[in-house]
Structure 1
Amino acid sequence: MTITHRAAVLGNPVEHSRSPIMHNAGYAALGLNDWEYTRITTDAEDVARIVGEADESYAGFSVTMPGKFAALEVADSLSERAELIGAANTLVRTGAGWHADNTDCVGVLGALGELFDGATVAAAVLLGSGGTARPALWALAKIGVSEVTVVNRSDRSEALADLVDAVGLEVTFSTYDTDLQALTRQADVVVSTVPSAALDGREQALGHAPVLDVIYDPWPTPLTTQAAANGYSTVGGHVMLAHQAYPQFEAFTGHSAPRPQMWDALVNSLR
């Protein structure tokens, strides 16, 4: 079968990306034999060129770091959530050019949904304030969280102010020098958006609430292991990854994502 439809993940590095595994499993499940999903290593400054030179076979791109901010600049139109979050992880070809969206926030929302299954969540601790923190704040607001404490090495309150105001959160900022155990004991959830090494030695203090850790390889993380030992439920970044991939698949192909097959392919790749 000749490949006539393509999608790809853009970023650097992308060798480890599980996106091709999930998307290609979805194509196989639906019999989309003329579809192919690949990896393209690119830095932020090359995103515009690669997207601009893409032939008509390319229906869309998944965009990982460091290209998520450049993806907004490439786009001819933006979804409301991509504009609000200030970054895009999805570019979809339309009749009017390239449309940018952010499904990272859908990924966080899906992971939180599996963690709580509709339970009331009012207060959260968010570790880190980088690229994943923004969709995390969006998702926390969506599930009804009203108070968030952002723990970060430096003060990023100004950079996050517009998003915080737009989603209606009450956010306070703290550092890792605070009493982390007291902080997390008062929280309904801890969302970590930082590498495991950044929390080295602090896991015991932080593991006093349900945890979403965006890291998935290796899994489980030291933070989720500690939280589970304390009797709390945990969910990893692989769940977030799957939930952000489903709407991408649907935007690229126009077909409903075959979630069980995509999920199984992801989990099998992590074993």
Structure 2
Amino acid sequence: MQVTHRAAVLGSPIEHSLSPVLHNAGYAAAGLSGWQYSRIECTADQLPGVVAGSDGSFRGFSVTMPAKFAALEFATEVSERAAAIGSANTLTRIDGGWRADNTDCEGITGALDALLGGVPVSSALVIGAGGTARPALWALGERGVDKLTVLNRSDRSAEVAPLVRGADLDFATFDADIEALAVEADVIVSTVPARALDEHAGALAHAPVLDVIYDPWPTPLATAAASNGYTSVGGLVMLAEQSFSQFEQFTGVAAPRDAMRAALVEHRQRQTG
């Protein structure tokens, strides 16, 4: 097969990225012969050179850490949500340059839909306030959540307040009554490493859980939630959901979502035995 169109995921380390599984399965299911998706090791400092030096066959790049901030700065055009979130996970070639977008918020939205269906959410507890928390707060604000509580080791409310679309925003530290915060929430979104919640999982597991981690799975928080009768959704769902818009921006073709999801699940089952 002659490769005529390319895309790739940029980041460091990148060898374990599952994005090629999703996108290449999408190309096959959509009948896009000549398309190929790969991994490119790329730090933040290297991103401008890698993207600017790519030949015309490259139609887009997915971007993971540590290069998401560099992607936003490099772009010649920026979507509203990427500008608000402050980072970009998507670069698409346009006339005269590159357009930056952030589809991580779509990943959060899709994962919340998988977790909750159409059940309305009036209050949410978000754990963490770093790079992954920002698209989560954006997505929850877009969903119309009235009250957002961020559980973090420091108060970063000034940074994230513009993301929440007028919701009532509170910050709390782990010295607070975190069990009471969890009980009051309609959903919990954890954006921190699984091990960071080892000693707190039992106190927090009192609502449905979206945990952005997929390896290891289940996380201590997801396990504790299950023991209390609550469902959880992990990072694999979010990973798939954020990839669909990337696929469509790169190719101009509707993403074959079922085929992409199925390929990801099958790949992970082979990995985990």
> Same fold, TM exceeding 0.5?
yes
Provide the C-alpha distance between the structure 2 equivalents of 1:109 and 1:62, rounded to a whole number of angstroms.
Answer: 19
Provide the C-alpha distance between the structure 1 equivalents of 2:159 and 2:141, rounded to a whole number of angstroms.
Answer: 18
Provide the C-alpha distance between the structure 2 equivalents of 1:12 and 1:45, rounded to a whole number of angstroms.
Answer: 11
Gap runs ≥5 in structure 1: none
TM-score by length of structure 2 reads 0.96
Provide the C-alpha distance between the structure 2 equivalents of 1:169 and 1:87, rounded to a whole number of angstroms.
Answer: 22
Query: What's the counterpart of residue 221 of structure 1?
Result: 219
Query: What's the counterpart of residue 201 of structure 2?
Result: 203
Query: What's the counterpart of residue 146 of structure 2?
Result: 146
Provide the C-alpha distance between the structure 2 equivalents of 1:93 and 1:169, rounded to a whole number of angstroms.
Answer: 35
Provide the C-alpha distance between the structure 2 equivalents of 1:122 and 1:194, rounded to a whole number of angstroms.
Answer: 22
Aligned residues: 269
- RMSD across aligned positions (CA): 1.0
- Aligned 1:69-108 pairs, distance under 5 A: 69-108=69-108
Query: What's the counterpart of residue 36 of structure 2?
Result: 36
TM-score by length of structure 1 reads 0.97
* Cα distance, 1:264 vs structure 2: 0.8
Contact 1:128 1:194 in 2 (8 A): yes
* Cα distance, 1:161 vs structure 2: 3.2
Q: Deviations over 1:217-271 (max 9, x none)?
A: 1211111111111111211111111110001001111111111111011111212
Query: What's the counterpart of residue 180 of structure 1?
Result: 178
Misfit runs of 4+, over 2 Å: 161-164
Provide the C-alpha distance between the structure 2 equivalents of 1:204 and 1:144, rounded to a whole number of angstroms.
Answer: 28
* Cα distance, 1:141 vs structure 2: 1.1
Gap runs ≥5 in structure 2: none
Contact 2:85 2:163 in 1 (8 A): yes
Question: What amino acid sits opposite 2:208 in the alignment?
Answer: P
Contact 1:195 1:215 in 2 (8 A): yes
Contact 2:185 2:207 in 1 (8 A): yes
SS of match in other structure, 1:8: strand
- Identity over aligned residues, as a percent? 60
Q: Deviations over 1:138-195 (max 9, x none)?
A: 111122211111111122223223334xx21211111111111111001101000000
SS of match in other structure, 1:130: coil
1:109 equivalent to 2:99? Answer: no
* Cα distance, 1:16 vs structure 2: 1.2
Provide the C-alpha distance between the structure 2 equivalents of 1:112 and 1:131, rounded to a whole number of angstroms.
Answer: 18
